[in-house]
Amino acid sequence: MTESLVGKPLADLEALAEALGEARYRGRQVAEWMYRKSAPSVAAMANLPKAFRERLARAHTVYGSEIEREETAGDGTRKLLVRFRDGQAAETVWIPGKARLTACVSSQVGCAVRCNFCASGLKGVVRDLTSPEILEQYFLQGVRTGKLPDHVVFMGMGEPFFNAEAVYGAIEVLIAPWGGALSARHVTVSTSGVVPGILEFARRGGQVRLSVSLHAADDAVRDGLVPINRKWPLAELADAIRTYQEAARRQVTFEYVLLDGVNADLSDALALARWVRPFRCSVNLIPYNAVEEFPHRPPSRDAARAFADRLREKGVRTTIRLRRGSDIAGACGQLRLREEKTP
Ligand code: SAH
Ligand code: SF4
């Protein structure tokens, strides 16, 4: 079986070039083709000697996975289903914005957290993704669209801190000057509240951003929505975020899915405002994207707006996420889910 090149650090590519009888700088050229110029294959790396390309291609491909399916929403959002070598699949989303282009990537197939509104967690976790598999999602977007995103968010399937080593490995390549050359400040890891993961993130320092999926400022409500809250309740979560902010002095974003009748009343907005007030933060409200298997519904537009206004009155920086790509089942885990239902 061939080995894929994506995810290999520069030093490995240089060593590989040498092992194949070439000068080391050929390894840097391979990195450039792969990480900057979105070459779809070894054959497309035009300035490499033909003989080297042939030797390299004998045992290597750039990617190990394939884009099996692609959907584009009315607003330009593209959702790709990436099929890995072992037949598992994960989804990645390409999100054009006014001033930025964002890639949303998955860190696991399925998710062990099993939030009671999320399609990704319906069947628990299937497996972790490797660093190369995480990176493929990003770099294949470039192959497909001709343009590499300048922001990456770990907000696809999976809990990044339950697969932290692979996530950190992928981030290293994304921000390396010889790799994706992204600004670390343009990379965001989103967690459902894995306290040891947040503390490790704090210890690592660096400029990568943190987003916490809060969804409730009350333990009883959060226990029902995000089951790991029973293990790491809100007070512990707050301590971890405090530790992080003391170490990193960075702003945190709180994600909050609005579920009608569950966490979207104005009294919930007040409780949320109280909970987030000690932090340098902003709140990102996400009107729920309905998933058949769960009974939840998003609140009305007016109710969502009133919720946001109440937070703002209390001095909390608040955005409401545009319903990007909702016509292609934009929320995480939904494309793979549909794929399973329609074989
Ligand atoms: N597992 C991580 C990151 C992936 S989920 C986490 O939970 O933070 C990215 C965001 O999408 C989370 O805030 C999650 O709660 C939210 N989400 C999941 N399913 C959703 C749905 N059906 N509608 C709206 N948001 C959803
Ligand atoms: Fe997992 Fe995040 Fe979905 Fe919860 S919201 S099940 S943590 S992917």
Supply the CATH number for residue 25's domain: 1.10.150.530
How many Å apart are CA 48 and CA 190, to the nearest integer?
Answer: 39
- Known catalytic membership, residue 91: yes
CATH number at residue 164: 3.20.20.70
Q: Which residues line ligand 1 (CB under 6 A)?
A: 111, 115, 117-118, 155, 158-159, 190-192, 213, 255, 257, 286, 288-289, 291, 331-332
Out of 43, 61, 79, pick the residue that ends a domain: 61
Q: Quick one: which H or E segment has residue 56?
A: helix 50-59
Same domain, 74 and 57: no
Same domain, 111 and 210: yes
- What residues make up the domain containing 37? 3-61
The share of the chain scoring above pLDDT 70, in percent, equals 94
Q: Are 343 and 121 contacting, i.e. CB atoms less than 8 angstroms apart? A: no
Contacts of 128 (CB under 8 A, 6+ apart): 107, 108, 158, 162, 163, 166
Fill in the DSSP letter of residue 128.
Answer: E
Same domain, 52 and 78: no
Q: For position 165, what pLDDT does the model report?
A: 98
Fill in the DSSP letter of residue 329.
Answer: T
Same domain, 22 and 85: no
Out of 37, 61, 85, pick the residue that ends a domain: 61
Rounded average pLDDT over 268-287: 96
pLDDT band at residue 322 under the 50/70/90 scheme: low
Q: What is the mean pLDDT of the chain?
A: 93
Same domain, 257 and 195: yes
pTM across the whole model: 0.94
Same domain, 85 and 51: no
Fill in the DSSP letter of residue 9.
Answer: -
Q: For position 332, what pLDDT does the model report?
A: 52
Q: For position 343, what pLDDT does the model report?
A: 36
What are the C-alpha distances in Å from 207 to residues 84, 153, 171, 201, 277? 30, 14, 11, 10, 23
How many Å apart are CA 35 and CA 8, to the nearest integer?
Answer: 10
With a 6 A CB cut-off, is 65 part of the ligand 2 pocket?
no
Rounded average pLDDT over 312-322: 91
User: Which residue reads 């399916």 in tokens?
Assistant: 69
Encoded tokens for 50: 């033909």
- Ligand 1 center–CA 157 separation, angstroms: 8
The better pLDDT of the pair 159, 343 is held by 159
For 138, phi then psi, to 5°, come to -70, -50
How many Å apart are CA 265 and CA 343, to the nearest integer?
Answer: 40
Whether residue 74 is predicted with pLDDT greater than 90 in this model: the reply is: no
Total count of domains within the chain? 2
Write down the catalytic residue from 104, 111, 118, 332: 332
Same domain, 16 and 81: no
The share of the chain scoring above pLDDT 90, in percent, equals 87
Q: Where is average pLDDT lowest: 125-129, 194-198, 204-208, 261-265?
A: 204-208
Out of 30, 61, 92, pick the residue that ends a domain: 61
Whether residue 334 is predicted with pLDDT greater than 90 in this model: the reply is: no
Write down the catalytic residue from 91, 136, 159, 255: 91
Beta strand pairing status for 187-191 and 209-213? Answer: parallel
Beta strand pairing status for 66-72 and 60-61? Answer: unpaired
Q: For position 323, what pLDDT does the model report?
A: 58
Same domain, 88 and 196: yes
Q: For position 76, what pLDDT does the model report?
A: 87
Q: For position 56, what pLDDT does the model report?
A: 97
User: What confidence tens digit (pLDDT) does each residue in 166-211 have?
Assistant: 999 999 999 999 999 999 999 999 999 999 999 999 999 989 999 9
Q: For position 249, what pLDDT does the model report?
A: 85
Ligand nearest to the CA of 294: 1
Q: Are 120 and 233 contacting, i.e. CB atoms less than 8 angstroms apart? A: no
Whether residue 325 is predicted with pLDDT greater than 90 in this model: the reply is: no
pLDDT band at residue 339 under the 50/70/90 scheme: very low
With a 6 A CB cut-off, is 334 part of the ligand 2 pocket?
no
Whether residue 309 is predicted with pLDDT greater than 70 in this model: the reply is: yes
What are the C-alpha distances in Å from 170 to residues 45, 106, 147, 208, 243? 23, 11, 19, 12, 25
Fill in the DSSP letter of residue 260.
Answer: T
With a 6 A CB cut-off, is 113 part of the ligand 2 pocket?
yes
Q: What angle do helix axes 25-35 and 10-19 make, rounded to 10 degrees?
A: 130
Rounded average pLDDT over 238-259: 95
Amino acid at 53: R
Whether residue 315 is predicted with pLDDT greater than 80 in this model: the reply is: yes
The better pLDDT of the pair 73, 86 is held by 86
Query: Best of 118, 134, 222, 232 to mutate for ligand 1, by most ligand atoms within 8 A of CB?
Result: 118
Same domain, 40 and 130: no
Same domain, 227 and 277: yes
Q: Burial-class residue 320 by CB neighbours within 10 Å (0-12, 13-18, 19+).
A: middle
Same domain, 40 and 90: no
Fill in the DSSP letter of residue 23.
Answer: -
Q: Where is average pLDDT lowest: 61-75, 176-190, 288-302, 326-340?
A: 326-340
Same domain, 71 and 204: yes
Please report the DSSP string for 27-38 in residue order: HHHHHHHHHTS-
Please report the DSSP string for 205-233 in residue order: -SS-EEEEE---SSHHHHHHHSGGGGTS-
Rounded average pLDDT over 276-302: 94
